[in-house]
Structure 1
Amino acid sequence: LMQKNTYENGMVSGRLTRWHPNGNKELEEEYENNLRNGLAVYYNQEGQKIREVNYKHDTLHGSYVEFFASGHIKIEGEYKNGLFHGAWKWYDEDGVVLGEGNFERGNGTQTAWRRDGTLLREITYQNNQKHGVERHYNEEEKVEKEIINRKNEPRETEN
């Protein structure tokens, strides 16, 4: 058995569970009328949880969390109608915050740091895509590289 789900009026409704070929669980998703709706949990081939997300009418909506194999949180944030929304955080395996972002319907900025706390990069987003100036910093926190992102066609400049 590789997948188990229920149908209602010819459409997937309720929980869908799928297994990796080795028998470990791959995913559990909630469906309503053939659309993902509610919590979805994804697992790697070893059976460890790697991601928990929420859907509304087959679109990311609500909390989003990725995990390291250790179980520690790697990324956490929120989606609203498929777009980054609210506070986001990126962590290393020890739980140290390496990045933060703040978004309003897919628009916002992300800042990342090295483990020692020095600034690594700053990225602006528009409609969930990198847009505008993306700055990368050296260990002295001086701009090392700038990338101009427009319509998913980055142009790099060196300093």
Structure 2
Amino acid sequence: MAPSGKLDLTRGDSRLAGSLLDGRLDGPLRIEAAGRPQASLGYRQGELQGPLVVFHPNGKPAAQMPYLQGRLHGIATFHAPEGWLQRKAGYRHGLLHGEAINYFADGSPAEIEHYRDGVREGPHRRFHANGRLALSARYRQGQLLEPARLYATDGRPLDEQGKPLSRLRWWWRRWTEPVEG
């Protein structure tokens, strides 16, 4: 019969504590090094189940990832050592699915992209640190539909050489071209 009961492994200054049921991990599992938490996980019948939390050396969470039957499923978050949110992304059955957002340290979005079953799908936008749009693109089934539009920090479109349109030309285009929508 496979072992059941408490699991407590120590190697050097590292420790793994959890439970076994019929030889498989079952219940909460905690990993520590030098007395500091490294990770906290949950298992059900040997499969990852529930939240997985990985910690920075300072003890703050680095990542919080939900698992369902051994696969990422739900909203995962990733944090800088100082605690601010760096990325938030949706997963379904282990694949990126839905919105994924990268953030600047001030909490404003740096990049917003969308996925369907692990493949880019829909709008993709990147932003300058001042909040203005830096890149705009659209994807269908992982394929870029048309060349991405690039923008200067003041919002002016960039030309083919990567230079911003003149302010006069930009102003004129905004007044004379039809509005999309």
Using structure 1 for the length normalisation, give the TM-score.
0.74
Determine the structure 2 residue equivalent to 1:119: 157
Shift of 1:138: 2.9
The amino acid across from 1:13 in the alignment is: Q
Mapped to 2, the partners of 1:31 and 1:136 lie a distance apart of 45
Q: Distance in 1 between matches of 2:161 and 2:81?
A: 35
Q: Which has the higher helix share?
A: 2
* Partner SS state of residue 73, structure 2: strand
Structure 1 residue 101: Cα displacement: 0.9
1:43 aligns with 2:79: yes
Q: 1:117 to 1:94 in 2, by over 3 A?
A: closer
2-structure distance, mates of 1:81, 1:105:
10
Aligned residues of 2:132 and 2:155 also touching (Cα < 8 A)? no
Q: Is 1:6 matched up with 2:42?
A: yes
Contact 2:112–2:124 (CA<8 Å) still a contact in 1? yes
Q: What is the Cα-based RMSD across aligned positions, in Å? A: 1.7
Q: Aligned AA for 2:98? A: G
- Name the SS for the 1:98 alignment partner: strand
Q: Distance in 2 between matches of 1:9 and 1:33?
A: 9
Paired position in structure 2 for 1:124: none
1:92 aligns with 2:154: no
1:1-159 aligned at under 5 Å gives the runs 1-108=37-144, 109=146, 110-120=148-158, 136-139=161-164
State the TM-score, normalizing by the size of structure 2: 0.65
Q: In 1, Cα distance between the equivalents of 2:161 and 2:76?
A: 34
Q: How many residues align?
A: 128
User: Which stretches of structure 1, 4 residues or more, deviate above 6 A after TM superposition?
Assistant: none
Distance 1:71 1:54, change over 3 A: same
Are 2:66 and 2:74, in contact at CA under 8 Å, matched by a contact in 1?
yes
Q: Distance in 2 between matches of 1:138 and 1:69?
A: 28
Structure 1 portions without partners, runs of 5+: 122-134, 142-159
What amino acid does structure 1 have at the position aligned with 2:63?
L
Higher relative contact order (CA closer than 8 Å, sequence separation 6+): 1
Deviations 1:30-84 (A, max 9, x none): 0012211111000011111000001112111111100001111111121011111
What residue ranges of structure 2 are gaps of 5+ in the alignment?
1-36, 167-181
Q: Distance in 1 between matches of 2:132 and 2:155?
A: 10
